[in-house]
Each structure stands twice: as C-alpha cells, then as structure tokens.
Amino acid sequence: MTFGMGIILTEEEKELVRPVVSNFAKNLLCFNDIYSYEKELRVQEGGHTGGQILSAVPIVEALANVGPESAKRILWTMCREWEVNHHRLVAETLRKYPSSKLEAFFKGLEYQYTGNELWSHETGRYK
C-alpha cells in the first residue's frame, strides 16, 4: 500500500503504525477464513491430502463448542470489533503524533478493510 500511495514511512513511523497494521491483519485474515472455509472443507472432504484446514473457523468451533455457522458469526463479530478498534488506535496515534502522512496511510488501510471484505464476499476463489 505504501508503494502504491507513494508513502515512505520512517522507522519511527513504522513503529507508530505497527499496532494499527497488526489489528488490520487480524481482520483481513479472519475475513479470509470466514469466506474460504466452505471451499477448504470441500477440498479436504474431496480427498485432498495436503494436510489439515488452517482456519479460525474450526478453532472457534472447538473453543466455543459450537458449529461452523455459529463460529463464523462469532468471527464476524470479532471482525467488527477490530474495525472499532482500528478507529480508536488511529485516533490515539494521530492525537499523539499528528501527521498528514500517517492520516493518509490510515485512510489507505480503511479502504483495504472495505475492499478486502467486498472482494472476499464476491470472489469466485471461495465459491
């Protein structure tokens, strides 16, 4: 994203954005797991011997003792909480370190949030 937006972060700025990026990565990976789970399950049940499904869905199923649909609803809620946390982290960072460059970087992450969710929902990759 920084390359595409022409943003060059200093080492100090990279440290400042690290919590926001980490929070974003959880959201991105979680949406991937929610949307890709059914396809991964079909592939595994079809005899693929590539190993075990690596997804948050069966982990939440086991931890909460619920089925896959309930696990996905729990993960959806977690994704929404990470979005709320994103806004809190961004506001906190910009309050302490006001910067138009950081603002632009954070806005780019917000675009990725919505883009990733829509792409995950619409892509044939998970069908």
pLDDT in tens, 48-76: 666 677 899 999 999 999 999 999 999 99
pLDDT of residue 23: 97
CB neighbour list of residue 24: distance below 8 Å, 6 or more residues apart: 82, 86, 109, 112, 113
Task: Report the distance separating Cα 66 and Cα 125, nearest Å.
Answer: 26
pLDDT at 9 > cutoff 70: yes
Please give the model's pTM, rounded to 2 decimal places.
0.85
